A = this chain, B = another copy of it.
């Protein structure tokens, strides 16, 4: 029987590739997405398509009200999404987002007796987010082993980050090898209600450059500007 894993699936390009990798490695993948008050609800539709098409055994969407805290252009609509590159940590950073998401993934994993978590963080194209770094991931594993029943009972909880050292182009090539349909994914920070990308935000820019560098036709649906 396959070992169970919890895979964080956002509806974007990276997490779709992570799900394909986890599935390819033989895990029984429980996809987990969050409704956290994000600007772009269309990403949850994309997450559902990704989980369905890439063979997740189940897909759970959990509500967590990060928008209640404000402080990010992705949840607080009074901030505009920047359309030119910024230095340092951008306003699209959601406070402690990966800490919250991994904590919830851990809670879900514990109810499944799953020791494996997968997250699509990436230290190369990480856009300046502190919670995408390897040291952060190792610190979370240490926490998880101390703070859970399965950790205390000797289960060696592992956070898998198969994309952490890949460039966007490498992620795209790996996804295509594993049959990911990137047209089903949404990366844009401000897509329209049909899921079409703006082509101008940081996330669109990184994605478009990735397809160009991978020498792969960009299947992204851009809206007319």
CB-defined contacts of A66 to chain B, threshold 8 Å: 107
Tally of contact residues, A, Cβ under 8 A: 43
Whether the pair A130, B148 counts as a contact (CB closer than 8 A) is: yes
Residue of B nearest to A60 (CB): B68
Q: Is the CB of A93 within 8 A of B149?
A: yes
State which residues 89-126 of A face B: CB under 8 Å. 89, 93-100, 102-104, 106-108, 110-111
Q: Is A62 an interface residue (CB 8 A)?
A: yes
A136 to B152, CA, bound (A): 11
Hey, which chain B residues are within 8 Å of A142, CB to CB?
Answer: 139, 142-143
In contact, A136 and B130 (Cβ under 8 angstroms): no
A111 to B70, CA, bound (A): 7
Contact of A139 among B97, B104, B106, B146 (CB under 8 A): B146
Chain A positions 46-94 with a Cβ under 8 Å from a chain B Cβ:
60, 62-66, 68-71, 89, 93-94
**Complex interface: chain B residues within 8 A of A102 (CB):** 103
**Is the Cβ of B103 less than 8 Å from the Cβ of A96?**
yes
A131 within 8 A of B: yes
* Sample (16) of A-B pairs whose CB atoms are under 8 Å apart: A62-B68, A64-B104, A66-B107, A95-B107, A95-B111, A96-B103, A96-B147, A100-B104, A130-B148, A133-B146, A136-B143, A139-B139, A139-B143, A139-B146, A139-B147, A140-B147
